[in-house]
Structure 1
């Protein structure tokens, strides 16, 4: 019985699974939608909703974060508009929305644990989720390579 199971897995099947181009392209798009602003915010888009926060570079420049002000759910924000602030032991910094749209969720965990921005700025330390009103605004943002060049140039000066 075990040999039969093994051979059924090893023997080539007479059919090939159907792979749709749209399915594979959608997977690629999922990885290609993380963008960055020159103000050191990142945004990752999934199904028209962008999750954004501050980059690792920004959190390291700020130091230990002690307070985070986020926008409220239902707020309508414009690209490059101030939507909150981050205070650290070193400084305070405004947060700007990378895109226009309606805030559909905020990271409530940051009110109790603002240090999530230091420990996981581009994962658990996200700030808000915005339903995009104009997806073409993403075209004006930097990809990872361009953002890394910006950071490298800033560190050199």
Structure 2
């Protein structure tokens, strides 16, 4: 199967199936590249035995995939190759915010601007201990037992 025959299979349908005989890894990569250039992504590959393989592709309707397919079709109509020597670079990912300097905290909630002094802090009773403290010295020994009379 040459490039033109492979290209003709990716004709804009929602799903494309290819049944191939013995195919090398390089040829398989070429088929995947042509499908990718025409806006398809590999759905699954089935090994049928005896060196036969079935590839199923699904049309990728994402905006960047559609744009890539339009550029490929325009290149073909102009007499160019199926695959360009230089693949257009994908759009750059969104930039991340710069890291915060060490020790920097994000600002807290803002208070409204007013000319009044801030309210005083709430008055609270001092905390009481939950367990009474130990005495500074041990308790005195108890009185000796009284003698028993008899």
What is the TM-score when the length of structure 2 is the normalising length? 0.27
Higher RCO structure, 1 or 2 (CA under 8 Å, sep 6+):
1
- Which structure has the larger Rg over C-alpha atoms? 2
Greater share of helix residues, 1 or 2?
Answer: 1
Greater share of strand residues, 1 or 2?
Answer: 1
